[in-house]
Amino acid sequence: MLHLYASRLAIAGAALGFGAIGAAQAQSPQAQSPQAVEWIHGSVIHLESLPGGDGASASAIDGAGLVVGSSYFSDDSNVATEWRRGRAIRLGALPGSSSSEANAVNDAGEAAGDSIVNGDSVATEWSNGRAIKLGGVPGLVFSKAEGVNDAGLVVGITDDKQTSFATEWRGGQAIDLGGLPGSDDSAAYAVNASGQVVGVSGFPNGTFFATEWSHGAVFELGGGSVNSWADAVDAAGQAVGFSGGSNMTAGVATEWSDGATIRLGALPGAQSSAANGVNDHGQAVGSSNISPRATEWSQGSAFPLSTPSGSQSIANGVNDAGQAVGTIYPPSAGAAAAIDAPAAPEASTWAMLLIGFAGLGWIGWRGVDRFEQRATGVAPGLVSSRRHWSARRAASIAESTSSTE
C-alpha cells in the first residue's frame, strides 16, 4: 500500500524526478524559481512572491480576481499566499507549522489548503484573516484540503499512512466520503455550489476512475474508460479532468456532462493533455504536452495560452470572467510585461497563472497521493497536491517524448 504523504526530500531529489526538464534547468539558480503570473485580456502579469521569497505559484482564482497559492523560500519552506490587486499577502499557517499552501478559494475569499505541523500535513482553512485547523477523520494521521465552495463546504483527502480517503468537512466535522465499490483509495478535489464533489477512486490493480459524490451516492464518471481523473466541477455539474491510456502520460483532457464523456483533445502535435479547471461558461484550462504548454478549451477547440519562449506552463484554474491562474517556469525578465495572447473565437478574456516543472523541487516537502504514484511511477514526496500532479504528469510526458525523438 502506498503512502499519501511522505517525509521531506532534498530539492535535488525532487529535481531529478523531472528528468530532462529538471536537469536542463538545474544549473541556473534563477531558473529554479517558479513564478506566479496572471493572464488578463491576453496579457501576462507577474505576481510577486512574498517579501524574501524565491518564487511562487498560483492554484486558484475567485470571481473577483483574488488569487491564492504559495510563495517559496530558500529554507525550503512554503507560505500560503493570496494576491489582491496584484499585491502578495501572507495567509500564514497553523501555530507551530513549518510550511503551508493554499489550494482553493471561494467567492467569499475563504481559502483552503494545508499546514505542515511536526512534519504532518493538516487541512487548513483561511477565513477573516485567521488560519483554522480542519483536521481529519478521527484516527487518521494526515489531511489536506483541495476545494471549497461558496457555502464554505471543504473537500480533500485524509490518510492513515496506508489508505487515503476522500473527505468532506461540514460543520466542523470531517466526513469520510468513501469511494467506488471495490476501490481501496479515494481523493476529493473540487466541490460546486450544489455540493457535488469530484475526484478519483483507485483500485488494487492500479487503475483509477473519475468519481462523483452527490446526495450521499458515489458514481463513476469515467464512462468505462480505464484510468480517469476529475479535477474540477462547475455549477451545473460539468466536470473536467483527463481519461484514457495506461497511465497519466497517455490520457487526454476530458469533460463529463449529463452522463456523456467528451474528450476535449489537445493542442496540435500533442499526444496528451489534462484539464485542471473549468468555469460556469464551460471554459476549461489545463495543459498539453508541448513543452508542456498551458491550454484553454472553449467552443470545442483547444487554444494555446501565451507563454514566454523557452518556458513551460500550466493553467490551474479559471473564473467566470475567463481569468485563469497557474505558474510559469523559468522566470522571464519580461514576465511583468504584457505578452500578446493567441486569438480565439469571440476574444475571450484570460488570466493565466502557469506552473513550472523543475521548480517543483521547491515543494518537495509536501506529500504525493498514491494516485500520482499509480499513474506516474514517481516515489512519494516528489510532488505535492493534485495541482502539482499536473506538472509532474506534463513533465513525464515531455521526458518520454524527448526520449523517443
**For the segment 389-403, what is each residue's pLDDT rounded down to a tens digit?**
344 334 443 444 444
Using the predicted structure, report yes or no on whether residue 3 has a pLDDT greater than 80. no
Of 43, 24, 114, 122, the residue nearest 330 (C-alpha): 24
In this prediction, residue 246 has a pLDDT band, given cuts at 50, 70 and 90, of low
Can you give the residue ranges of every domain in the chain?
Answer: 11-404
State pTM to two decimals.
0.79
pLDDT at 130 over 70: yes
- 3-state class of 330 per DSSP? coil
Pick the CATH number of 11-404 from 3.90.550.10, 3.30.1490.100, 2.120.10.30, 3.50.50.60: 2.120.10.30
**Residue bearing cell 497553523:** 94
pLDDT in tens, 281-291: 999 999 998 87
Residue 274 burial (CB < 10 Å; 0-12/13-18/19+)?
buried
Helix count (H) and strand count (E) of the chain? 4, 28
pLDDT at res. 139: 78
Tens of pLDDT, residues 18-44: 222 232 232 233 344 788 888 887 678
Number of neighbouring beta carbons within 10 Å of residue 332: 19
What is the average per-residue pLDDT within 197-217?
A: 94
Give the pLDDT confidence score for residue 136 in this predicted structure: 81
Q: Give me the residues paired with residue 293 across strands.
A: 288
Q: How does residue 224 score in pLDDT terms, banded at 50, 70 and 90?
A: low
- Dihedral Cα 396, 102, 264, 239, nearest 10 deg: 130
Cell 485580456 locates to 41
Question: Kindly report the CA angle at 234 between 397 and 213, in degrees rounded to 5?
Answer: 85
Average pLDDT over residues 144-172: 93
In angstroms, the CA 120 to CA 142 distance is 6
